[in-house]
A and B are shown apart, each in its own frame.
Chain A
C-alpha cells in the first residue's frame, strides 16, 4: 500500500436525475471546481457535472501542472495570484493531498529584448504582489547548478526573472480534490455522458441533450476544453477561439535533484522535475490549429535538442512518454469567462496553455457569477464582450512559456 493511494479521498457517485439547477458541461478541473465552490460557498448542490469520458480525461490530465502568476498585465496577475493563494490553501480546505510544492520559476533571457521583457515583468509583478525578482546569471547557476550559462554557445543566459511562489501540484489529484468535495456535498458527476446539443426555449438555453437523454437546467455552463466552439455553436454563439494541440513529454523517474522550474521565452519550452522524479518538458502550443491528439516526433526532436543546449545533463535521460492535449486559444491570448449574451448559458474557455493554474480562481469566480447573477470584479476584464469593444486583454508575452 503506498502513500499515494492511501491519501486519496472517496468519490461518491449518484444516480442521475433529469433536471438540475445547474448543469456544467465538462468534468475537468474548471467544471468540478465550479461545482465545488457552488456547493461550498453558495450552498447550491442541485448541480450536475456532465463528462463525456472520465473526470480529468481532457486537458486537466494532460497539462504540465505549473502554477504561476507572473503575467504581463495587472488584470491577469491579480487573477492568477488569487488562484495561487487558493491553491496554497487547497489541501487544508479539502483535506486532499494534491502534492502542492513551491519551487520558484526561473524565466531565462538570452537577448537584450528578452531582458527588457523580464525587467518589465518583474516591475509589474512586484506592483501587483506577485513576488518576482530579477536575477543574474550567477544566481541562476546557484539555483540550478545543472545549467550551462553559455547555452551551448547558442543561447547564452543574460539573466532571468525569478517568480518565487511558482509551484506545481499533481494534476489528477487537483481534479479529484474538487470532485470529491463536490460529490460529497451532493453534486452529481455523470461520466461517459456526451453532450450532443443544448435544449432551447426560444433564445434561452434550458438544458443539455446527452448521449444518455435530455437534462433540464436552470443554468448551463460550458467548461469543456477542445470542443468548446462546437458546444457554443449549439447556443448560436461564435467564439473568438482557436484550438491547437499542445504537446509535452516526461523522462523516466530519477532521484530528486532539480529544484526549480526553468522556462525559456526564446526556446518556448520549460522543464521541471515531478514529485515522481520525472523530468517534465513542455512547449508552446503547436502553431497549426488542430483537434488532433497525436504526438509528433518533430516536437520531441526539437524540444529534446533545445533542452540539451540549456541543460546538457538531460541528454542521457531516457524519454518515457509523450502526449498531446488541446488548448483553446482566444484572439487575445487571455481566458473568456462569464455571460455570453445567451440567457441561461455561461462560459469558461480560452484557457490555452494556462488553464491548470487558473482552476481554483476560475471555479470560484464562475460559481459566484452563477450564484449571484452578476460578474465578480476579478473576472470582469475577461468577459466575452471585450472583443466586440476592441479592448483586448493582450498578454501574448505571458502565454505558454512566454
Chain B
C-alpha cells in the first residue's frame, strides 16, 4: 500500500501513521527535527490532502493520500483557486457535527485518565474518555464547559458537567546544536517505531543532561556528542530524560469550576538544563541565541521573551519549547518562571471544521416575497427583511404613487395590540405625545424616546376602544420595540396585556390619489378619513384599515392575517390593472417621503437625536407629568444646542447622500437624505448643521443650497386627505 510524499511513492504497513511510514522509508515528514510521534510537537506536520499543518503522527496512512512537506523556509502557499462550491472545500466537502451530553468528560486515556474515568463510573456517572490516540483530538475546553473535539470522521462537541484533564506528560525535546537534524527521536517515539517494526539502524540513547550536541551530514544525524566529550556514531539518536513536560495546555486554557486537572498534567516537574545552543522553538525557528539576544536587550520577563523572540507561538503552542524557555528565564532571572497562558486551539482544526453546523441569523421574507419576484423586483435586505428595492424603474413607481395608485408591502412594520385597564396610563408614559385624547377610531403619529430623550423609533398609535390600542413601529425597530414596551410595562407594574402581531399580520399600503377608488372596487365603498382606522373586509379578507400618509398621498394600510397576503395582493393588483397600478419599492418610498420631509429613524437621525434637533418638539408634550425621556429633555432644554436637521434645496441633480455640508471651508454637517424632485424641480435634502449659529445658505457638492421649510411637497397636506 502506498501514498505519495512530495509526489514520490511511500510504502506503508496497515496501521502505520503517515509519520511512521515516512520514517520507515528513511525520510522525515519535514526537513528535520526531533520527532515525538505523540502530537506534542509540530515537527511532523505537513500538507495532507491539501490541508497544511496536519500532524502526520496522528493521521493514519491511506492509499493514494497526497502528502507534501512544507517549504524549508517560509509557510506553505496560500491557495489562490477558491473552490467553486462555497460551502465545500477540496479537503472537506462537508463536516458533520456530533453532540454528546455526559456527566464527566475525561481528556486522556493514560494512567491518570483511566483512573479518573474508573472512579467516576464507579460513582455512577456517565463518562466519556477522549484520547488523541483513539482519534479524539481535543481542540479546546471552553467555558460551559464544552469540549470541542475533532475526529477523523466528524467534529464532536461534548457538553459535560465536569471535565477532567488527564493529558499526562510529554517527553522533553532536546535543545542543542544539531537538534534540527533528521534521525532524532524521543524515547516514546522510539518505542512506537520499534512496535511498528521500523528499522532504526544503529541507535544511541542519550539522556538530556548528558547531551552536548548532534553531529550530522546532509541534514542527517551521524553521531551524538556527550557532555564528557565522547562521540558515538548512530543512524538514530534516542533522547531520554528523567524529567518530563506536563501536557498542560488545556489546563492553562480555561478557569472554570467544572474543570479539574489530575495526574502528571498537574505535576510540577523539574526543568531541563538551561539551553545553551540550538533551536528552542522549532515551529518558529527560534534559537537559544535569539533568546539570549532579547534578554540582553532588556526583554527580561518570560512573556516579553516569548513575544520578542516569537518563541512558543507556533503549531505546538509551546509543546516543545516551554520547559526550555522556562529554564532559560529561570536561570537568567534567578526566579522561577511560570508558563505562559494557554489558548485554544490545543490541536488545530480547519476553519471548515470550526464553522461546521453553525447557525446564522435567517433573513426574513414577507408572505409577499414571491409576488415581488414575479413582478421582477430587485430585492434588498433592509432591517433584517428581504424587501423590494425597486421593480425595475423606481421613478415609474414614484409617479404611480403621485398620480395613480400603487401598492407597497409594509408587512415588516412592527405591529402590536395593547389592552387592559391601565393601557392609557402605560402609553402616556411610553410616548411623549398625549394619548388620552385620541378617540376610538382615530390614530396619531408618535415618537419613541429613550431615557436620554433620544429618538429610538416612531410609529402610529391607533385607538380601538377605551382600553385597546394598536401600535405600529418601524421595520428595523420592531423587535427592539417589542422588548422595550414589554419591559417598561413590567417595570411599572401596570395592568396591560401585550400581543405582538408583527409576524402574524401582513400589511399592504394602498397609496396614491386613486387609492380610494381602488378600495371601492374591492368592497370598501366608504374608506376611512385621514388618521382614522377601522376593521372591514377587503375582497373577502378581514382587514384593519389605517388611513395615514408617509408618501404624501392618500394611503390606506391594510393589516390582515398573513395567510391571506398573497390573495389580497393579487386581488388588488387585478382590480387596479386599468388604473395602471404599479407596486413601489423602498427606493421610491424613500424619495416620496423625503418630499414630505418625513425622517426615517436611523437614516436621518443619529445616536443623540432629540425631538428638538429634528424640529419635532410639537410631538412632545412637556406638560405631561411623566414619560420616558422627559427628565433628560427637561435637563437639556436650556443647554446650548448646536445640532439641527434642516430641509435644503438646490439646483441640479441630487447630491450623494452623506455629502458634507460646508459653510465656507468648514464642514458643518452632512446630507442625510437627498432626491432630485420632479415635483419641486430641485434637489431636495434633509441635512445636518452641527455648528451654530446655523446659516440659511450652505455649500453642498460645490453648489449653493438654501435652507427650505419642509414639507417640500404639498405643505398643507391636502393630498393625503383627498
Question: Which residues of A does B touch, CB under 8 Å?
Answer: 1-2, 4-6, 8-13, 53-57, 61, 74, 110-113, 116-117, 119-121, 123-124, 127-128, 145-146, 148, 150, 152-154, 172, 176, 191, 251-258, 273, 276-277, 292, 294-297, 300-302, 304-309, 311-323, 332-333, 389-392, 394, 396
Contact = CB atoms under 8 A, between A and B. Distances in A.
B308 A113 contact: no
B53 A252 contact: yes
B360 interface: yes
Contact of B389 (A112, A124, A392): A112
Nearest to A394: B607
Chain B interface main SS type: loop
Contacts of A391: 608, 642-643
A12 B639 contact: no
Given A315-B351, A319-B354, A390-B608, A112 B78 contact: no
A314 B351 contact: yes
B660 A127 contact: yes
Given A297-B148, A305-B355, A315 B89 contact: yes
Contact of B293 (A5, A297, A302): A5
Nearest to A118: B658
13 contacts: A13-B298, A111-B381, A113-B382, A152-B87, A172-B308, A255-B77, A297-B157, A309-B86, A312-B86, A315-B89, A323-B343, A389-B640, A391-B643
B706 interface: no
Interface stretch (B162-170, B267-275, B299-307): B299-307
A171 to B, nearest CB: 9
A33 to B, nearest CB: 18
A257 B354 contact: no
Contact of B86 (A294, A308, A323, A332): A308
A56 B303 CA distance: 10
Nearest to A295: B344
Given A124-B658, A311-B82, A392-B607, A322 B344 contact: yes
A57 B303 CA distance: 8
A9 B608 CA distance: 47
A320 to B, nearest CB: 6
Contact of A304 (B297, B343, B351): B351
B580 interface: no
A257 B78 contact: yes
A300 B357 CA distance: 12
A148 B90 CA distance: 16
Nearest to B602: A113
B235 interface: no
Sort chain B's interface into a size bin.
Answer: 35 or more
Nearest to B346: A321
Contacts of B255: 294
Given A277-B74, A391-B608, A5 B290 contact: yes
Interface in B292-351: 293-294, 297-301, 303-304, 307-310, 313-315, 317, 343-345, 348-351
Contacts of A5: 290, 293-294, 308-309
Contacts of B289: 1
A254 B667 contact: no
A165 B297 CA distance: 33
Given A152-B87, A253-B75, A318 B52 contact: yes
A320 B148 contact: no
Interface stretch (B99-107, B138-146, B180-188, B513-521): B138-146
Contacts of A312: 82-83, 85-86, 89
Contacts of B79: 313, 316
Nearest to B390: A112
Interface string B265-290: 00000000000000000000111011
